[in-house]
Structure 1
Amino acid sequence: MKWRRLKMSDKHARLLTGERVYLRPLNGEDSELYYQMFYDEETRWLTGTQKHNTKEQIARYIERKAGDDSSVLLLIALEENDKVIGDIAIQDMDRGNRTANLRIAIDKVEHQCMGYGQEALLLLLDYGFGILNLHRIELEVYAYNNRAVHVYEKVGFVREGVRRQMLYYNHEYHDVIMMSMLENEYRARYLL
């Protein structure tokens, strides 16, 4: 995986670049885009999102995240046309214990099952373990999101447990699967 310094000559500043996607920071101009992503019905279901936010709340959220040194929030964009297809974040970083949480969302069905999410995950894992010097990256995924579970396991995340009936969504309770990857597991899999 490659990472590079922000390059202002690009249409958008790129933090991490892969073969088909790149990850870039959000800026004030992305508020409307992020708001639209936030209200995609399929994305809300897959991420278990229940909260409703106004455009102003989204803009303030982006502004807060820009100054938050315990998280890295990035948009996932296609290399071929700069189209934003989702977001990914390392958050809740605990520098003392070198741990963090990861989340990702691909916003439309036509961009899912194309390998974009996997590529974005690998870019951010490389950044998290390499640049941020994390030892453990964890995530949670809803048990009904089988595609995401498959991708996380394929990338190397290990199931640690289940939080039973943690989410109440659409008149039903759903389990949450807890997964993690350790630095040495990442290095053994991707750096040899």
Structure 2
Amino acid sequence: MMTNLASQPKLLTGNRVYLRPMNGEDAQMYYEQLYVAETRRLTGTHKFATKEQISRYIEAKSQDSSSVLLLIALKETDEVIGDIALQDIDTINRSAGIRIAISYEQHQGQGFGQEGMQLLLEYGFGVLNLYRIELEVFTFNPRAAHVYEKLGFVREGVKRKALYYNHQYHDVVTMSMLADEYRAKYSIPES
């Protein structure tokens, strides 16, 4: 489903995509994206949710200071193509997890996710002053792992057989980026 909401505020803007907050009007679209089979597989999503549960989730996330949940939209058309989040933000240890989903195959492999990640990494390290951002990627998704490495994430380890999906166990690779690695890769001077 294509959702055009040009009147929505743009929190972070890149060359081809922008990130914007999610609101109650997005519940139907988010619900539909949650049930795209390939996206569910690539994200290891097991849970099923009703539209009402999705609406409550969006409302709860808007009040949750330990996460930033944003939609990814194309600048040219305002079409929402996925979502991205910083989650489990720990202000004491200055760390968080990051996750992303580009919901439809026609938008995958075109660099939109990479640009969205760059925008949220800039926000996480720059605005939120995080020191460490980590993620997990499944071994059956080498394309995503390659993109994360290109962005500057470092492989830390493997959780063996940590995901059970579609009658099989899969390994989960943990990756992270530290603030000094981010600044070095993107030529950002120390403050």
Q: TM-score, normalised by structure 1?
A: 0.94
Within the candidate set 53, 57, 68, 1:57 is matched to 53
Tell me which residue corresponds to 1:100: 96
The answer to whether 1:21 aligns with 2:40 is no
The answer to whether 1:37 aligns with 2:16 is no
Q: TM-score, normalised by structure 2?
A: 0.95
The answer to whether 1:119 aligns with 2:115 is yes
> Aligned AA for 2:114?
Q
Deviation by residue 1:94-115 (Cα, 9 ceiling, x = unmatched): 1000000000000011000000
- Shift of residue 11 of structure 1? 1.4
For the aligned residues, what is the CA RMSD?
Answer: 0.7
> Aligned AA for 2:130?
L
The count of corresponding residues between Structure 1 and Structure 2 is 183
- Shift of residue 191 of structure 1? 2.6
Distance in 2 between residues matched to 1:169 and 1:122, nearest whole Å: 29
SS of residue in 2 equivalent to 1:162: strand
The equivalences for 1:124-139 within 5 A come to 124-139=120-135
SS of residue in 2 equivalent to 1:52: coil
- Shift of residue 21 of structure 1? 0.1
SS of residue in 2 equivalent to 1:174: strand
The answer to whether 1:75 aligns with 2:71 is yes
Distance in 1 between residues matched to 2:154 and 2:10, nearest whole Å: 30
Distance in 1 between residues matched to 2:38 and 2:106, nearest whole Å: 11
Tell me which residue corresponds to 1:7: none
> Aligned AA for 1:96?
I
Within the candidate set 183, 186, 190, 2:186 is matched to 190
Tell me which residue corresponds to 1:165: 161
Q: Identical aligned pairs, as a percentage?
A: 65
Distance in 2 between residues matched to 1:73 and 1:60, nearest whole Å: 14
The answer to whether 1:85 aligns with 2:81 is yes
Distance in 1 between residues matched to 2:140 and 2:121, nearest whole Å: 24
Distance in 2 between residues matched to 1:191 and 1:67, nearest whole Å: 34
Q: Which structure 1 residue ranges, 4+ long, deviate > 3 Å from structure 2? A: none
Q: Which stretches in structure 2 are left out of the alignment for 5+ residues?
A: 1-5
Distance in 2 between residues matched to 1:92 and 1:21, nearest whole Å: 24
SS of residue in 2 equivalent to 1:179: strand
Distance in 2 between residues matched to 1:170 and 1:28, nearest whole Å: 32
Deviation by residue 1:55-90 (Cα, 9 ceiling, x = unmatched): 000000000000000100000000000000000000
Distance in 2 between residues matched to 1:48 and 1:27, nearest whole Å: 24
